[in-house]
Amino acid sequence: MSTDGYLTFALGKGRLAKKTLELFEKIGITCEEMKDKDSRRLIFVNEAQKLRFFLAKGPDVPTYVEYGAADIGVAGKDTIMEENRRVYEVLDFGFGKCRMCVCGPEHAKELLKHHERIRVASKYPNIAKDYFYNQKHQTVDIIKLNGSVELGPLVGLSDVIVDIVETGSTLHENGLAVLEEICPLSARMIVNQVSMQMEKERITGLIMKLKEALFRGDKTI
Ligand code: PRP
């Protein structure tokens, strides 16, 4: 948590950051410096509004927020669940919508019914573990991958995968299907627990304004 009066935001690099800044603009929070696409800078400041923004790798956003390096973060629900950091999740932005699912070839559906010890590949080992062990009570072997997880069942590494499904086209093009849905996902705002006490007025004011902007149903968000 900063002691210089600045409110610091950690944003996951890429599309989420872009959408978040579009939403912030609707409530008068701007950061012109961030719009320069050629810039390699990582930290941007709005001196007038005493705001600081930095871009981080998505999975690192909850870490910055838990440790107070950022007061506020915006990350996907998938990342928040996987990282399981001590932060407050305060708002669902409603964009970046997708689903966390168990996927695989159709015939693998049977393997999910009889508590068989199967192999599950995922970029999200904690989510996969929680789902299979605590919700399905099925003992499985979890294999951590870093991307292109759909390869798992295609090359015989795993029986199924736990992964994000947005349009479903990656699955479709690779002859795979959604076998079970774990939960819906979207972009969420998270807050450092100490900042929430120390900067209560400023942060709750911000949350209220964002809620209003979202409620107004700005379909462009
Ligand atoms: C994500 C996810 C799926 C794909 C789903 O991967 O892991 O592979 O998008 O999207 P779809 O349902 O619209 O096809 P991403 O593009 O982030 O890359 P990765 O596979 O390297 O993680």
Residues 27 and 130 placed together within one structural domain of the fold? no
Rounded Cα distance between 29 and 156, Å, is 49
Residues 11 and 92 placed together within one structural domain of the fold? yes
Average pLDDT over residues 136-142: 96
Decide: 3 in ligand 1 pocket, CB within 6 A. no
Residues 144 and 170 placed together within one structural domain of the fold? yes
Rounded Cα distance between 138 and 59, Å, is 27
Decide: 101 in ligand 1 pocket, CB within 6 A. no
Residues 88 and 41 placed together within one structural domain of the fold? yes
Q: Report if residue 121 sits inside a domain.
A: yes
Q: Could you tell me the CATH number of the domain that includes residue 34?
A: 3.40.190.10
Domain count within the chain: 2
Q: Yes or no: say if 54 and 10 are a contact pair by the CB < 8 Å rule.
A: yes
The answer to whether residue 3 scores a pLDDT higher than 80 is no
Residues 88 and 139 placed together within one structural domain of the fold? no
**Probe target for ligand 1 pocket from 166, 178, 185, with the most ligand atoms within 8 Å of CB:** 166
Q: Determine the distance separating the centroid of ligand 1 and the alpha carbon of 124, expressed in angstroms.
A: 13
**pTM metric for this prediction:** 0.92
Decide: 167 in ligand 1 pocket, CB within 6 A. yes
Rounded Cα distance between 165 and 102, Å, is 9
DSSP 57: -
Residues 62 and 122 placed together within one structural domain of the fold? no
Decide: 149 in ligand 1 pocket, CB within 6 A. yes
Residues 90 and 105 placed together within one structural domain of the fold? no
What type of residue is 66? E
Q: Report if residue 203 sits inside a domain.
A: yes
Residue 216 burial (C-beta neighbours within 10 Å; 0-12, 13-18, 19+): exposed
Instruction: Convert the pLDDT of each residue in 47-63 to its tens digit.
Output: 999 999 999 999 999 99
Q: Which domain holds residue 72?
A: 7-96+186-219
Q: Report if residue 1 sits inside a domain.
A: no
pLDDT-derived band at 2 (thresholds 50, 70, 90) equals low
Q: Report if residue 2 sits inside a domain.
A: no
What the block records as the tokens of 194 is 């100490």
